[in-house]
Amino acid sequence: MLQAEMTELYVREINKLIKEIGQYETDAELWKTKEGINNSGGCLCQHLTGSLLHFIGATLGNIGYIRNRDNEFINSDKSRAELISGLENAREVITHTFATLSAETLDKEFAFDFAGKQSTRFYLLMFLGHLAYHLGQINYHRRLI
């Protein structure tokens, strides 16, 4: 069923992301960009939080989260603590949601179709790759800034 494994991997990656955000020397550095880098670490963090809460929390966990994807890519004055709080919430939502998923739900076609008609399990693995990809970008951004 992979639920325990997916929960462990998502929690591990979110914990790494929390650590990454916490390692920025100042809150202002989260929002800096340099030539050739379109997204700040803060924007990527907002994007990941929004994506997780939307596709897992709202779609599978029915938490009522309403996503505004465009706002995820706007620099803000959020602090490291605020971003980390959002990630901690996402981690809790994911852990709870995964605990409630049945094998039947994982085998069902996912509610959104932007990578072909695939099972929920397929999309959850794809979202894990998305999380890891942007985590790597944030690590690079932090070291570059």
Domains defined for the chain, CATH in brackets: 3-144 (1.20.120.450)
Tokens encoding 85? 């709080």
pLDDT attached to residue 1? 52
Q: What value, to the nearest 5°, has the Cα angle with vertex 39 and ends 94 and 15?
A: 30
Residue 88 to residue 49: CA distance in whole angstroms:
9
Cα distances (angstroms) measured from residue 30 to each of 21, 26, 120: 8, 7, 33
Per-residue pLDDT tens listing for the chain (145 residues): 578 999 999 999 999 999 999 999 999 999 999 998 899 999 999 999 999 999 999 999 999 999 999 999 998 889 999 999 999 999 999 999 999 999 999 999 999 998 899 999 999 999 999 999 999 999 999 999 9
Q: First CA to last CA across the chain, in angstroms? A: 41
**C-alpha span between 138 and 111 (Å, rounded):** 29
CA distance 49 to 84: 10
Give every CB contact of residue 92 below 8 A, 6+ residues apart in sequence: none
